Structure 1
Amino acid sequence: MEFISQLLALEPTTKVLGKESIVPFAILLVVILVVPIIFERLRLPGMVGLLIAGVILGPHGWNLINSNSTMMKLLSEIGLVYLMFVAGLEIDINQFRHTTNRSLGFGSFSFGVPLVVGIFVGRIFGFDWNASIFIGSLFASHTLLAYPIINRLGVVNNEAVTVTVGATVFTDISALLLLAVCIAVHTGQLNHANLIILLGWLTIYATVVLVGFDWVGKEFFKRSGEDEGNQFLFVLLAVFLAAVGAQLIGIEKIVGAFLAGLAVNETLGEGPVKEKVVFVGNALFIPIFFVNLGLLVNLAVLTRNTNAVQLTLFIVAGLIISKFIAALIAKLIYHYNWQEAVTMWSLSIPQVGATLAATLVGYRTGVLSETLLTSIIILMLVTSTLGPLITSRVAVGLSLNSSLTKIQPAVQPVYPSMGSGSDRTKIVVPIHNPQTQQYLIEMAALLAKQSNGKIIPLAIATATAHMDAPQLEVSLQRSERLLAKANALSRVLSVDSDPLLRIDDGFAPGISRAAREQKASLIVMGWGKRTGLRAKLFGNVIDSVLWSSHCPVAVTRLVESPNKVQRILVPIENLMSPTLQPIHFAQILAEANQAQVTVLNICERRTSSSKIAARRSQLALLVSKLAPSNPPDIQIIAHENVTQAILQAARLYDLVVLPFIRSSTIPGGLVISDVTTQLARQLSCSIVMLGEPQRGQPVVVPSGVVSTTVIV
């Protein structure tokens, strides 16, 4: 009885959860892990699920998480800063430079028209001029939420797309500056004198961040060498220093975070440190920001107030119509066709990164009411779903109309000298695992024979502080045994071999440096699975080699000898040159084994038969240029799920050759799942993943391996 009375005296569950800060954090982690997966299965953005979860778990729902708790305030504040930093970091400065005039032009249309419409909507519903201008500034920016779709379809080089991407620089910066002015006006700190002072400080601050941080970052990265940990910490320090500096001069920290992203943009490039920085934000802090934003939403406001419903409808309709008008103006001035104009419109519709960050700041400072906050959240939900949906339907036509002319110059074969000496093709084969060593050597031997080249078996002994350390001696002896076995196997396979033993700080830098020193044309590596948190956060050896290598890297998972391969499948998602390289790679293997290659292209289930026929003829033309003597078979399947379609087709094949595609991120969004990664987990046959160099330089890869000049 005493036990039962104690149970009855227990506090309600919500009170217990409110007192234990670790419990809400555990709930947050479950939400961040599970909810995006569920919503992406429903073909909805994961961030939509996080917002809805926040509404359900917040004070206007089950009241399990308190948005005013110290933990939530801190984590969501970091997420807010991180969101704007990633938005600046993901902007493609090079594309903006290539289409500066037109990007500024479309940026002006996409900023000016929605700004005017937003002000008009605000005035209609009785808001003062400052709040109305603030609403207009929220309309003016946009988030490239559908960029991964554009990238998958292979139309990123279409001028209309690059102009839209470049316009993001103008719209985001202008919207954030307008935000700073509106906040200053609302707090009563802005008069003519203060405005001049604020603009002066803002100019000095922006110069220090954009120029100073860029210079300091490049110097630090130059001196820190391969120390990715310190580089990672430097980037985080730059972000929060910029945020603090912004607050010191009287502007919002999100402006500083965005400028910091622009400042370190070129310093980081498309390297491993950038991937780690974005990963940390997308995996933890940015999702928490979206959940916290959901905690503030009160949907009951809409049910109690008819005027609030009308305001929401006007905001959603005003944004969509104003963005369409901006795209229409660009079409008329720059003579784009309707598909390009609608694609520009769909890309500029989503309001996620800068819009949500500015909305939260406006709500906290009192510029926006609770009703407006709810309306803007609904605007985000509608546009983040509608924009990518339209893009996926319309941009398919762009790939058929414009890809062919862009690909042909990039896939002309280049046949270097095939004589002896330094001109011969060299294939580096890092060996570490005796169980996979034989198949790796066999694969490299097949490729080397086709190009009259040689293989370089490479063993890395990791360095220690003292060169006479016992552990180094053990490592050297093991490496020598592996190299002796590789050399013997090479003689059996009748291929020239030049074994190389190297002492280096780590496996990845040792492989990349040795390949560069030997002027290798290709690196053939064994498969390495991601295990543990460190591998997921900081990557494994394969990740590092792919990021740093000067030449293509073939990552293999071979379940049988490459000499037994008779049927090779090459799935391609789009028809652009970087993803066409696996076709030629597979063709070389097929010629060595008298095998058959099948090129598989997956298109949307609703694709018409005429478009499928056009795609087939286009692909046949490209394949005939890559393999004129023995072109592979071509299959085009209309399917709603790319991964499932490839898995079903791969059951009849011995080997699948895939392009190694890095997981993509979107400004202010979450990590997009990668088809290549899913296939690698589920395929039971042998796999070769072909990774291209990450540098933006022309790379000539060897005849007999992938004989094309690739611009990446």
Structure 2
Amino acid sequence: MIISSIHHLTFPIEDPLLKFFIELLIILLVPLLLNKIKIPHLLGLLVAGAAVGPYGFNLLSRDSSVVVTGTTGLLYIMFLAGLEIDMGDFKKNKWKSITFSIYTFVAPFVLGFAGGYYILHFSLLTSILFAALFSSHTLIVYPMISALGIAKNSAVNITVGGTMITDVLTLLVLAVIVGLSQGDVGAAFWLQLSISMIVFVLVVLLIFPIVARWFFKHVSDKISQYIFVVVMIYLASILAELAGIESIIGAFFAGLALNRLIPHTSSLMNRIEFVGNAIFIPFFLISVGMLIDFSAFIKSWETLGVAAIMLLASIGGKYIAAMLIQKTYRLSKDEGRLVFGMSSASAAATLATVMVGYNIILGQTAEGEPIRLLNEHVLNGSILLILISCTISSFVTMSSAQRIAEEARENTVAGDKLPEAHILLPINKQEMTEKMINLGMLIRTKSNNDQLFALNIISEDNNESSVKNAQKILEAAVKLGAAADVEVQAITRHDNGVVGGINNVIKEKSISDLVIGLDKEKGFSTSFMYNLYNGYLKNEHVNLMIYSSVQPISTIKEYVVLVPPLAYQESGFFEVLLKIWNIARNSASSLRFYTTQHTIQILQRVVKKSAIEASFYTITNWTEVDTVIRELKSNQGLIVLMADRNRFSYRSPVHTITQFLNENRIENNYLLIYPYTENDAGTAEKRAVNNHQDFAEIGKLIQKVFR
């Protein structure tokens, strides 16, 4: 078929295989070529789309296949923005996002209205719609931000939050102007629009998480989970259109709805990002490039004049908004430039608004020509605006984002970060593999390059089948890590005993954290408790965690954390606190602390320096924790800081936790954490965190680690 098509080759190319091959070739070669000359590949894909499109060499037509994949790419960008946004930072910066949305909506709108009404002499309705074109922006550079690892930067969060608000406002203006042009804006119009939007938001933000949590609990197949996510993106987009707003808003809200159910360190998250960045988003950029018609600007000086006003209103307005938000909240210069770079790109909402306005016919001229709400000069000008704004956005974002990323790395290189953690995960059963690896990926600090080790102990008298089983378990562990782009080092060890083998590996690999999986059926058996106190806890400089998992870790919405009195005086208190912070941050879950009032004051000082969502409840007697555990909800997990007999925080009731969990068999995930100890009293005293200066330093460190 391909040979026949080549013999009778006509342009644009119609053969689907050949078309897809050319598009993939563009996606492959453009980044490779442009990376060498420091040009953002996003810009290259736009130019490549223009070159092969109907207004270029006409190799490919912008048919339905290009439109569908391009639309999916656009939805993907908005979905990823909602999915990767840190909800703690988002809530912390919500007023900053609202302030920025006002700046970035009003400044370009005023400039656009002045240009349309007073310079181009458009009608009032046309001028308002013309001005609204410049208030919205598309997060076309978000994949670049994510790749540099600064998606959690406050400037990024402010811009993402502002994008959602400005796009909604722009599309509301579009809906109102369309209604006014058709003469059907009345009380019924406003009532219908308000009700439909409220219903849409409630359905997506309330019902979607319930459905997704049920699905992830009952369906473990990775492919099915990914397809489910894509279905939810499209369903939210369709519901948005039914509500009278654009589909991109639906995709963004879908990301917010699934934010807490797809851990940022999970293999599912890695699949979502990989497919989007490799296929759908590049197709979107190519499809946008195919709209660019350079000849239109040569044919008409009026088009160039309109385009110049559009560029001034859009780019100038976004620059003013970025500088205002920088001055208002004292952002750094690079963060101000980053806000401008991210918000200066116009594509999705701008194109949608222009096309709607262009297709509205208000009447006819004496010559029978249609009078459109937005004329062809505005249409062609918007294409030039998309090209230039995306170019500026790419260059400004790349330069400022790289400087911010380098500064963050410098802050954590010269002694400001913790030593690299070595986390050991002994696994002896196939069904525990995924559970243990998922927890290991949650507790590691990504920016610290913490290492994961999967270990299987084989007794000396075991047969060949045990060796094969060990290989199967460790291969699965390595694959699970690779699926999330995390290296898991597999260790097979022949030893006379499990405890002795684990302790030997701890010494050989300088292990800092040991995670022991608990068999749900056996629980805290006599033999397990013997191994715990006479084996695992003998490793004084190792944090020990005992983990029991009864449901997927992604379905945990909140962790209840029990902290015994005086736990803050433990040598390893800060290290295990950081692990708890990692769990919350990487899984987008919140923390609910139960502890003494003094410990709460200590924890609150640290929380101020991070974006973790945390609430605090006082307990005066450790026996109260029984009630707390019994009242756990199905979407909550339990974390308990434990203590050995010789530690500061030792209280005999603390050790009844294991007996209580054995007797009650709660249907919740739980993690018991024994902070490490140091025999040297002087060292322990130095590490104690009872003064304000120490807490300030801890807070700064947490803030840097999570950047």
TM-score by length of 1: 0.55
1:178 equivalent among 173, 180, 205:
173
Distance change (3 Å), C-alpha of 1:385 and 1:478: closer
CA distance in 1, matches of 2:672, 2:297: 56
CA distance in 1, matches of 2:99, 2:473: 62
1:528-567 equivalences under 5 Å are: none
State the Cα distance separating 1:300 from its structure 2 match: 0.9
For the residue of structure 1 that corresponds to 2:133, the secondary structure is helix
Contact residue 103 and residue 166 of structure 1 kept, 8 A:
yes
Question: 1:498-552: per-residue Cα shift (whole Å, max 9, x none)?
Answer: 99xxxxxxxxxxx9958999999699xxxxxxxxxxxxxxxxxxxx99999xxxx
- Number of equivalent positions: 486
Give 1:303 shift. Answer: 0.4
Whichever residue aligns with residue 380 of structure 1, its letter is: I
Residues 1:44 and 2:39 aligned together? yes
- Match for 1:379: what amino acid? L
Q: Could you tell me whether the CA contact under 8 Å between 1:459 and 1:479 is conserved in 2? A: no
Distance 2:518 2:178 in 1: 56
SS in 2 for 1:140: coil
The answer to whether the 8 Å contact 2:293/2:383 transfers is no
- 1:457 partner letter: L
In the alignment, which of 243, 246, 249 is matched to residue 255 of structure 1?
249
Q: Which residue of 1 aligns with 2:158?
A: 163
Q: Structure 1: which amino acid aligns with 2:250?
A: G
Counterpart CA distance in 2 for 1:700 and 1:291 is 54
Partner of 1:535: none
User: Is the contact between residue 126 and residue 374 of structure 2 (CA under 8 Å) also seen in structure 1?
Assistant: yes
In structure 2, distance between residues paired with 1:135 and 1:44: 31
Work out whether 1:324 is the aligned partner of 2:319: yes
Q: 1:382 maps to what in 2? A: 388
In the superposition, relative to structure 1, how do residues 286 and 471 fare at CA in structure 2: closer, same or farther (>3 Å)? farther
Mapping 1:520-669, distance limit 5 Å: none
Partners of 2:126 and 2:348 lie apart in 1 by 20
Q: Per-residue CA shift, 1:394-418, capped at 9, x if unaligned?
A: 6788789999999999747899xxx
Give me the whole-angstrom Cα distance separating, in 1, the residues matched to 2:249 and 2:68.
18
Q: 1:109 to 1:42 in 2, by over 3 A?
A: same
- Tell me, yes or no, if the aligned pair for 1:91 and 1:168 is still in contact at 8 Å: no
Letter of the structure 2 residue corresponding to residue 281 of structure 1: G
Q: State the SS of the aligned residue for 1:458.
A: strand
Deviation at residue 200 of structure 1 after TM alignment: 1.7
2: distance between equivalents of 1:335 and 1:478?
55
Partner deviation per Cα, 1:162-213 (whole Å, 9 max, x = no partner)? 5344433433333343344445555665444223212222221222122221
SS in 2 for 1:177: helix
Q: Does structure 2 retain, via aligned residues, the 8 Å contact 1:359–1:368?
A: yes
CA contact (8 A) 2:196 2:244 kept: no
- Quickly say closer, same or farther: Cα 1:76–1:324, change in 2 above 3 A: closer
Instruction: Measure how far apart 1:98 and its partner are.
Output: 0.9
CA deviation string 1:202-252 (max 9, x = no partner): 22122212222122222322333x433222222222222223333334443
CA RMSD across the alignment = 5.4
Structure 1 counterpart of 2:217? 222
Which amino acid in 2 is paired with 1:88? G
Structure 1 485/414 Cα, relative in aligned 2: closer, same or farther at 3 Å? closer
Q: Match of 2:29, as an amino acid?
A: V
Q: What SS does the aligned partner of 2:290 have?
A: helix
Q: Which residue of 2 aligns with 1:59?
A: 54
- Post-superposition CA distance 1:480-515 (Å, at most 9, x none): 99998533899999963699xxxxxxxxxxx99589
Could you tell me which of 11, 14, 32 is aligned with 2:10? 14
| Aligned AA (2:306) | L
Aligned to 1:111: 105
Over the matched positions of the two proteins, sequence identity in percent amounts to 28
Query: Residue 279 of structure 2 aligns with which residue?
Result: 284
Unaligned stretches of 5+ in structure 2? 361-371, 430-452, 475-489, 508-514, 524-531, 545-551, 557-577, 583-670, 679-686, 688-697
Q: Name the structure 1 match of 2:233.
A: 239
2:130 is the alignment partner of 1:132? no
List runs of 5+ in structure 1 lacking aligned partners.
1-6, 416-424, 433-454, 461-469, 500-510, 524-543, 549-576, 582-696
String of CA shifts for 1:333-388, please: whole Å, max 9, x gaps: 44556565445434432335554565566667776555434433333333333345
Residue matched to 1:195? 190
Equivalent residue number for residue 78 of structure 1: 72
Q: Is the contact made by 1:298 and 1:370 (CA closer than 8 Å) also made in structure 2?
A: no
Contact residue 494 and residue 501 of structure 2 kept, 8 A? no
- Alignment correspondent of 1:266: 260
User: By how many angstroms is 1:109 displaced?
Assistant: 1.1
Q: What letter corresponds to residue 276 of structure 2 in structure 1?
A: G
Q: SS where residue 279 of structure 1 aligns?
A: helix
More displaced stretch, 35-44 vs 472-481: 472-481
Give the whole-Å Cα distance in 2 for the aligned partners of 1:273 and 1:351. Answer: 30
Structure 2 length-normalised TM = 0.56
Residue 301 of structure 1: CA displacement?
Answer: 0.8
Matched, 1:213 2:204: no
Quick one: structure 1 residues 45 and 185, their matched pair in 2 at CA, closer, same or farther if it must change by over 3 Å? farther
Indicate which of 287, 290, 294 corresponds to 2:289. Answer: 294
Letter in 2 for 1:486: H
Which moves more between the two structures, 143-152 or 339-348? 143-152
Determine the structure 2 residue equivalent to 1:496: 504
1:24 to 2:24 alignment: no
How far apart, CA to CA, are the structure 2 residues paired with 1:492 and 1:314? Answer: 75
| Match 2:456 to one of 449, 455, 458 | 458
State which of 409, 427, 432 in structure 1 corresponds to 2:424: 427
